Structure 1
Amino acid sequence: MGLRFDEICIDARDATALGAWWSQVLGWPHDIDDDGDVRLHAPTGAGVDWIFLAVPDQKVVKNRIHLDFRPDDQQAEVDRVLALGARRVDIGQRGDESWVVLADPEGNEFCILAADE
């Protein structure tokens, strides 16, 4: 017996819009099921699928868990994701970090790390 990590579930006020946004950011295909849940399909080797579930409440505090992404070019990815509608957020950074903290359109924090050298 044991556990296998199968999917990430993300609550969203507008699951359709947020799922489509992340689909664009990640370049992953998505679909919407009969319940209105949005599933992003991770390419082989890229991790697990993401499911966006509609909830009535807004996010009001800092995430207790967040996602980190390692790009080939940090600045290019930060610029691209900001242009898609992300925003910079301050969670107490000092300013000399090697990562950039952003939030998606519903305020979920995530980091774009420095590229591997």
Structure 2
Amino acid sequence: MALEWEQVNVDAADAVALGRWWAEALGWVVLNDSAEEYEIRPREDRLPGLIFTPVPEGKTIKNRLHLDFRPDEQDAEVARLLALGARHADVGQGDQPWVVLVDPEGNEFCVLGPRRS
């Protein structure tokens, strides 16, 4: 039996707004822009994607799952994401080579430094 990773589901207070933010942050395309299910992917025919669904409850604790991104230039990418509305976060990481940010709804993600050889 084989499994194909289709998408990551993200609960959101405002699925459309959060989905649009991530589409802009990642440069991904929108496949479905309904308020009940806002889906984005790297390209229309490429997996995995992110799907944002509305939930009534707000985020209250640190995510148990988060995304890591490795850009070409960490400082430039962090600055770009902050300009889009991300914020710095302290989840107890201490002094590390990665930067922890949160999206507009408080979901943590990391911007990694250069890959070690």
TM-score w.r.t. the length of structure 2 is 0.90
Aligned to 1:58: 58
Q: Is the 8 A contact 2:40 2:49 kept in 1?
A: yes
Q: Is the 8 A contact 1:86 1:103 kept in 2?
A: yes
Q: Secondary structure at the residue paired with 2:71?
A: coil
Percent identity, aligned pairs only? 49
Q: Distance in 1 between matches of 2:34 and 2:94?
A: 45
Q: Distance in 2 between matches of 1:99 and 1:91?
A: 12
List runs of 5+ in structure 1 lacking aligned partners: none
Aligned to 2:93: 93
Aligned to 2:10: 10
**Count of residues in Structure 1 that have an aligned counterpart in Structure 2:** 116
1:26-71 residue CA offsets vs partner (Å, 9 max, x unmatched): 0001143556311102238975011001111100000001100000
Q: 1:21 to 1:61 in 2, by over 3 A?
A: same
Q: Is the 8 A contact 1:42 1:50 kept in 2?
A: no
Give the C-alpha shift of residue 94 in structure 1.
1.8
Q: 1:46 to 1:111 in 2, by over 3 A?
A: farther
Q: Is the 8 A contact 1:15 1:37 kept in 2?
A: yes
Q: Distance in 1 between matches of 2:104 and 2:33?
A: 22
List runs of 5+ in structure 2 lacking aligned partners: none
TM-score w.r.t. the length of structure 1 is 0.90
Q: For the aligned residues, what is the CA RMSD?
A: 2.0
Aligned to 1:82: 82
After superposition, where does 1:21-40 map in structure 2 within 5 Å? 21-33=21-33, 36-40=36-40
Amino acid at match of 2:48: V
Q: Distance in 2 between matches of 1:70 and 1:49?
A: 17
